[in-house]
Structure 1
Amino acid sequence: MQSWLLVVGALSVLAVPGGAQADEHEGDTQILKVVINKGHDIALGTTEAKKFTLQVTASDDSGIKEDFTVPSLWKDSKGLVIPDNPTGNCVPHAGAPTTSTCTYRMTFHPRIDPQDNTTAGTWKAAVSISGNDGDYMSKDAAATVQVRRYAKMTVNAAPEPVKKGKTLTVTGSLTRANWETYKYAGYTGQPVKLQFRKKGSSAYTTVKTVTTGSLGALKTNVKAATDGYWRWSFADTSTTHPATTTADYVDVR
């Protein structure tokens, strides 16, 4: 199967929302490297758009043609994101004019692009690059990026202050963005670390791991030993971004 090419004036947008297609290649054009969001995951909440870059480094003996092709990000048949700037701002490398890096500005809109929660996970970059002599290369999965649901957490340690040796109750919650309701909902059944940093220290240590309950609720008891800071820390999942609370200071008397 061949890639779908959407031609808009002089621009060619490589869009592959239906699944993996065959790569295409003619001549000596080479796609050398593709970097999405500077190598970081993309975390989306419910309202704020996420701006990022997609950079394509490519070579051709005639040089790279800047105003011909445009990349896209896609996931199965449910997601497609194209650049805000279709020309790409291709800059030849110093001392190597046949190699250029093209930088495309892109925007993920949480209320437009991830059509539902199933679009969290691995997105692929479809890239097509042309040389000034008409040679070209296209790859439908030239690179990948993890697009994850943004997570939020809260923490509260009580009572404050507390007597040394008495019970301290630490509560909180873990919620994540729902791209269907555009609200944050509790993330249940997830392991979350309770961490403590002694006053005057710079390092946190994990005291215990607690599993989130109904509506993402967290609650556990510990013995108060010394002044310090308490926080919750959630690692991540394949669909959800990591999160760590701000610290709650407790004075132990």
Structure 2
Amino acid sequence: MHLRATVAAVSGALALSALALPAAHAADGGPSYRDGVARVLAQHTSGKAAFAATAAPIGDLDVSFSDFKIAKAVKVGTTNKVTTYVTYTLTHAADIDVSDSNVLTGPLIYRGSADYPDNVLGGEAPATCVDKTATTATCKGPVDINPRETDTDLKLFNAQAGTWHGAGLALDFDSEKSAVQFGLGSTLVQRNSQLTVNAAPEPVKKGNTLTVTGKLSRANWEDHKYHGYTGQAVKLQFRKKGSSTYTTLKTLKTDSTGALKTTTKATVDGYYRYSFAGTTTTPAVSAAGDFVDVK
């Protein structure tokens, strides 16, 4: 399930004032994860069991989440949905059976604070859990991120690149109880980057000047194109033919269009590339080396 929440303050709590969900149903005709999460969020929106900015579980289902592990960073481009899997430990009361199809759980990520997140994302399916003891289970579930959402309420915005926080949700259809826990770690949701390089002329006489051009660009989630990433430090690196190690020759910054241009002396055969260390919003990337034959 893919969630998008626009939020407002209600009695100092988290209120989800808009929620759009796909109309998926359980294969056996029973309660679906989509229906359950929608109900839980609507319940909290009403103020009956308000969310708060705390790492403790909120709700009336006797569960808690721990050992929440998510990728350090998730790269999202302009076209394809990206799924990242989260593992966690679910601790629950002895009378809760995680193998019951009426008991569902899954990970969420949210951008901003637990009080006022500006986006919340989850998976299109719940987590799968395996009992380890009578009161603990290990779970694995997806978080889906789609840069091609056309619904305004589901859209991923460029300004939302950066740090997202983890949360866990569990619900029991039979008892109509549920719980949510915030502050379960973090990940970077990043605008995917691309980097090119071209060293010319090729071939070149030893001692002559090479001009090395390139461009650093990153995904724009709003128009689904790649645009230049301006004012970023990028290293020009060289790897001698037969070596596996790149050495930095100089560092320069991208211009107003993300373009790079510099010169260097040709000495021996080898590969030239540009390398970008990355930022919190944009992943590190290195161009494929461009081989230059020195005569």
Show the 5 A alignment for 1:82-121: 82-86=122-126, 88-93=127-132, 96-112=133-149, 113=154, 115-121=156-162
1:35 is matched with which residue? 69
Between structures 1 and 2, the one with greater strand share: 1
Kept in 2: contact 1:41–1:146 (CA 8 A)? yes
Kindly provide the CA deviation profile for residues 58-108 of structure 1, in whole angstroms up to 9, marking residues without a partner as x. Answer: 22351663523333222144322121112x210123xx4532111112321
* Cα pair distance change 1:10/1:217, threshold 3 Å: closer
| Aligned-pair identity (%) | 41
Query: 1: distance between equivalents of 2:141 and 2:53?
Result: 23
Kept in 1: contact 2:72–2:186 (CA 8 A)? no
Matched, 1:192 2:225: no
Q: What is the TM-score when the length of structure 2 is the normalising length? A: 0.73
Kept in 1: contact 2:109–2:143 (CA 8 A)? no
Paired residue secondary structure (2:231): coil
The match for 1:146 among 188, 192, 206 is: 188
Query: 1: distance between equivalents of 2:269 and 2:193?
Result: 28
Shift of 1:181: 1.4
Moved more, 47-56 or 111-120: 111-120
Shift of 1:27: 8.8
Query: 2: distance between equivalents of 1:130 and 1:64?
Result: 11
* Cα pair distance change 1:27/1:180, threshold 3 Å: closer
2:121 is matched with which residue? 81
Kept in 2: contact 1:110–1:179 (CA 8 A)? yes
Shift of 1:136: 7.4
Show the 5 A alignment for 1:128-167: 128-129=169-170, 138-167=180-209
Matched, 1:69 2:111: no
Paired residue secondary structure (2:159): helix
Shift of 1:115: 2.8
Kept in 1: contact 2:129–2:138 (CA 8 A)? yes
Moved more, 209-218 or 110-119: 110-119
* Cα pair distance change 1:183/1:4, threshold 3 Å: same
Shift of 1:172: 0.3
Paired residue secondary structure (2:183): strand
Query: 2: distance between equivalents of 1:160 and 1:20?
Result: 62
Query: 2: distance between equivalents of 1:84 and 1:27?
Result: 22
Matched, 1:243 2:288: no
Shift of 1:28: 7.0
* Cα pair distance change 1:241/1:20, threshold 3 Å: farther
Query: 2: distance between equivalents of 1:92 and 1:160?
Result: 62
CA RMSD of aligned residues (A): 3.0
Moved more, 122-131 or 97-106: 122-131
1:222 is matched with which residue? 264
Kindly provide the CA deviation profile for residues 113-134 of structure 1, in whole angstroms up to 9, marking residues without a partner as x. Answer: 5532111011122213479xx8
Shift of 1:3: 5.7
Paired residue secondary structure (1:118): helix
